[in-house]
Amino acid sequence: MCRAGIAATAVALSFLSTSCTQIPELNGVANVPLGDVVKRIKCDLFQAVLSKAREDRDRYGFLLRWSAKVHLTLIVDNTATINPGATIINPLKRAGTSFSLGLGAGLITEAVRTEDIEFFLAFDQVTTELGNEDTYAEKYNACRFENGILLQSDLDLKSILNKALEPVKDGTLSKGPNVPTGSGAPPTIPPDEATKIDETLEKLKNVKIPEDKIRNLVIVKRNNPLSVPFYEDLEKTDAGKVSALEIASNITAAATMEADAVSAVKNIASPLYDVAAASLKDKECLPEITKVRFKVLTYGAMVSINKVAVDQATTPETSRDALKEAEKALKSTMTNTQEMLRLILDCAEEAKKEEEKKEEQERQKLGQQGQKPGQESQKPGQQGKQGKKAKSRKEPAYDPIGLISQTINFYITASGSVTPTWKLVRMTAPVSPTFASVSRKDTNTLIIAMGRPDLKNGQAAGASEQMNAAVLYSVLNQALGNRTPLPAN
């Protein structure tokens, strides 16, 4: 029996040492059809960018002139361990006593295979390719794909753009000389930008983007797995399918409204009020500003309350009614936010006039007409020259956002173990709770960095310094996170 255990251990050691020290195969979930993945990425980016540009050409049209640097990583990690051991028992002469000796060994083998694929997509070239009706319909199947797993699933790049562009939507960020010069600054906006955006939109006016209702239903099911049985039951009839699409679309719309309300409160009303409270604390207009701010917070909370009602609705009617209430609350939130901004500007203007009046009175007392206290008088014509010089110098213009980067990881781990047990008179084996085990971990990583590309002769020539740095940072971060820890001394 002891010889049988030793033989089994030897066989296991031989199998593990050979099978897990060879190059892992890219099979199973690691066998990703890269051609289909690239098509999906191009389609998702094309549809997301075109939708935003059509939504508001002035705010989001710059995206049509952007590009993307994409980095894909496929990792297969095969690990095997074996922990043979035994406890040898030697009975002593005295009854009921014995001597035992535990023996153990261990072997760990690991083979990791990593494949990296990187490519660059200039959006003007992508729009030219997918703007061709034959190519769009035949090669890309009108950008309709079946949802699989890992990199073949819905990457939801549209939501990534919507989230990143929230400060642009509410006007917190806008085009202009808002990026300092120096290392790492993104490329500037070319002078002919507006013309090229108009030409691109005109060229793509007949391109139809698939309806978002089906996409919304997929996203709602994915975000809330507990709702899947409800929708599956509802979709058993044709009328139920229509109802499911409407309910899911209303949930998506309500989520967008709540994000807008939160943005108005968090990015506009709250910081503006903090500034006003600090700089206008002695002014009579501050109480009125406080009242309007309270309305902004109240209506913003009502948006969230109605958003919950939309999420919990089980019929199109109740969902529709809750969505209308959310729309009303959002409109009131935005109206009062604008009113608050107007009051602050008016109050600041009034404070400025009061300050100028005090300065004028002080000048009269000092007998220095036309000169502020402590300020040297300018020579005649000097101010005019400075004004002309400032007007003649044109500041470089930059996009409201310099970079949008996203890293998506998918993990699948499979494992198995075996632990035979021997209990003999003079030996018990094995010692460790697990005799032998094997595992395989598949990792798919998608890194996308979007920004304005470097140009050469007016055409995209490659990723900008910012985009390259963003991808490199993500790759290094992934490498450090996936590294195998060193054994303890």
Phi-psi region for residue 9, left (φ > 0), alpha (ψ -120 to 50) or beta? alpha
Question: Rounded CA gap, 172 and 331, in Å?
Answer: 18
Judged against a pLDDT cut of 90, whether residue 413 lies above it is answered with: no
- What does the pLDDT look like over 317-357, one tens digit per residue? 999 999 999 999 999 999 999 888 888 888 888 877 877 78
Judged against a pLDDT cut of 50, whether residue 377 lies above it is answered with: no
> Of 37-51, 281-295, 444-458, which gets the smallest average pLDDT?
281-295
What's the pLDDT at 299?
93
Q: Quickly state the pLDDT bin for 150 (edges 50, 70, 90).
A: low
What's the pLDDT at 391?
46
Altogether, the residues listed in the chain come to a count of: 489
Judged against a pLDDT cut of 80, whether residue 253 lies above it is answered with: yes
What's the pLDDT at 449?
92
What's the pLDDT at 179?
61
This model's pTM is above 0.85: no
Q: Find the mean pLDDT for residues 16-27.
A: 62
DSSP result, 458-487: TEEEE--HHHHHHHHHHHHHHHHHHPPPPP
What's the pLDDT at 246?
87
Place of tokens 């939160």: 262
Report the 10 Å Cβ neighbour count for 302.
Answer: 18
Q: Find the mean pLDDT for residues 127-152.
A: 77
Q: How many alpha carbons fall within 13 Å on the CB side of residue 110?
A: 11
Sign, CA dihedral 278-280-282-287, equals: negative
How far is the first Cα of the chain from the last one, in angstroms, to the nearest whole number? 36
Q: Find the mean pLDDT for residues 36-42.
A: 86
Q: Find the mean pLDDT for residues 190-204.
A: 87
Judged against a pLDDT cut of 80, whether residue 242 lies above it is answered with: yes
- What does the pLDDT look like over 100-134, one tens digit per residue? 888 888 888 888 888 888 999 998 888 888 888 78
What's the pLDDT at 302?
93
What's the pLDDT at 1?
45
Judged against a pLDDT cut of 70, whether residue 191 lies above it is answered with: yes
Burial of residue 189, with CB atoms counted within 10 A of its CB: 0-12 exposed, 13-18 middle, 19 or more buried: middle
What's the pLDDT at 147?
65
What's the pLDDT at 390?
46
Q: Find the mean pLDDT for residues 32-41.
A: 82
What SS3 class is residue 38? helix
> Of 129-143, 399-413, 449-463, which gets the smallest average pLDDT?
129-143
The percent of residues above 70 in pLDDT, for the chain, comes to: 82
Judged against a pLDDT cut of 60, whether residue 415 lies above it is answered with: yes
What's the pLDDT at 332?
92
Mean pLDDT of the chain: 79
Which comes out higher in pLDDT, residue 427 or 472? Answer: 472
> Of 46-50, 78-82, 142-146, 397-401, which gets the smallest average pLDDT?
142-146
Q: Quickly state the pLDDT bin for 277 (edges 50, 70, 90).
A: confident
Q: Quickly state the pLDDT bin for 307 (edges 50, 70, 90).
A: very high
What's the pLDDT at 306?
93
> Of 95-104, 159-168, 294-303, which gets the smallest average pLDDT?
95-104
